[in-house]
């Protein structure tokens, strides 16, 4: 799929991996719609890129539908919205809280499926290209789906759900000519890590076999765009992690 001139949606596009992806898509000629809860950052980015912004909670059906409807000629959607939570299954104060677990699942897994199903429905109404392709969707998991650390039950379960969603969704959508892939980033320099002291950030980066640093959001963005452009990438979960395998803690 050629990105130049297509309509693209980036959920969670106001910062981090999503912002980098929105920028890369715009640089390749796509018309980008940013969907995010952060109205100030999202609107500023959309204005800078000559795109559009829609205030969106990915777990809200009506809001995601409004974001999808705002994209003219939608061919490509990237789902980057997500939150984290750390709590041991049983800690000093007893069992883990249920509500944070439910919230993480709702945003990271249900929100991702919400973007997938509604964007795919819109893409399916478009005209196929000469190869029969109508578009593609990229979702975001994490190496925590495979190497979840102590305290990551909620986050790992949510991202593991995205991994499990990938192949059946790709099979579901094959007859519409829509591809589905998932990127599972390792340790990336995103707002989730921004609050850590610099010494801790350097230590995390040094734990990556090669390159021994935190991943750059632009590297995620380039892979997302490559997935769009490479028609044989479908139903696959790609670890983007510098060969790291996370220790228990």
What is the per-residue burial (b if ≥16 Cβ within 10 Å, else e) of 76-110? bbbbbbbbebebeeeeeeeebeeeebebbbbbbbb
Q: What is the pLDDT of residue 3?
A: 98
Q: What is the pLDDT of residue 198?
A: 87
Q: Any idea where the domains of the chain sit in the sequence? A: 7-240
Question: What are the structure tokens assigned to 85, written together?
Answer: 């939570």
- Other beta carbons within 10 angstroms of residue 123's beta carbon come to 26
Sign, CA dihedral 55-239-148-102, equals: positive
- Other beta carbons within 10 angstroms of residue 43's beta carbon come to 17
Give pTM, 2 decimals: 0.97
- Catalytic residue, chosen from 85, 101, 113, 155, is 155
- Per residue of the chain (249 residues), give pLDDT as tens: 999 999 999 999 999 999 999 999 999 999 999 999 999 999 999 999 999 999 999 999 999 999 999 999 999 999 999 999 999 999 999 999 999 999 999 999 999 999 999 999 999 999 999 999 999 999 999 999 999 999 999 999 999 999 999 999 999 999 999 999 999 999 999 887 877 788 888 889 999 999 999 999 999 999 999 999 999 999 999 999 999 999 998
Q: What is the pLDDT of residue 36?
A: 98
Catalytic residue check, 220: no
Structural domain 7-240, CATH architecture: 3-Layer(aba) Sandwich (3.40)
Asked whether 42 and 36 are in contact (CB, 8 A), the reply is: yes
Q: What is the pLDDT of residue 249?
A: 87
Report DSSP letters for 134-174, one per residue: -EEEEEE--THHHHPPTT-HHHHHHHHHHHHHHHHHHHHHG
> How far is 84 from 82, CA to CA, in rounded Å?
7
Question: What are the structure tokens assigned to 50, written together?
Answer: 């000559």
Asked whether 100 and 47 are in contact (CB, 8 A), the reply is: no
Report DSSP letters for 171-184, one per residue: HHHGGGTEEEEEEE
- Other beta carbons within 10 angstroms of residue 42's beta carbon come to 28
54: burial class by Cβ within 10 Å (0-12, 13-18, 19+)?
buried
Sign, CA dihedral 198-35-76-26, equals: negative
Q: How far is CA 27 from CA 14, 16, 131, 138, 156, in A?
A: 16, 17, 25, 18, 33
């Amino acid at each position: 799929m050629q990105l130049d001139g297509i309509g693209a949606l980036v959920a969670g596009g106001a910062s981090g991996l999503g912002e980098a992806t929105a920028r890369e898509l715009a640089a390749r000629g796509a018309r980008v719609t940013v969907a995010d809860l952060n109205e100030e950052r999202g609107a500023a980015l959309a204005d800078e890129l000559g795109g559009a912004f829609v205030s969106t909670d990915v777990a809200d059906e009506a809001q995601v539908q409004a974001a999808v409807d705002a994209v003219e000629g939608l061919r490509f959607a990237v789902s980057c919205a997500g939150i984290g939570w750390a709590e041991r299954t049983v800690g000093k104060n007893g069992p883990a809280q249920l509500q944070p677990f439910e919230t993480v699942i709702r945003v990271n897994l249900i929100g991702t499926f919400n973007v997938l199903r509604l964007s795919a429905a819109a893409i399916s109404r478009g005209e196929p290209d000469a190869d029969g392709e109508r578009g593609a969707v990229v979702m975001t998991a994490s190496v925590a789906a495979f190497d979840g650390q102590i305290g990551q039950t909620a986050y790992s379960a949510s991202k593991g759900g995205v991994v499990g969603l990938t192949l059946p969704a790709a099979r579901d959508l094959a007859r519409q000519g829509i591809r589905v892939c998932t990127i599972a980033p390792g340790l990336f320099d995103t707002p989730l890590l921004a609050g850590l002291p610099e010494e801790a950030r350097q230590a995390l980066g040094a734990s990556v076999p090669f390159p021994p640093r935190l991943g750059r959001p632009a590297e995620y963005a380039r892979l997302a765009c490559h997935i769009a452009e490479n028609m044989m990438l479908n139903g696959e979960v790609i670890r983007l992690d510098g060969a790291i395998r996370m220790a228990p803690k």
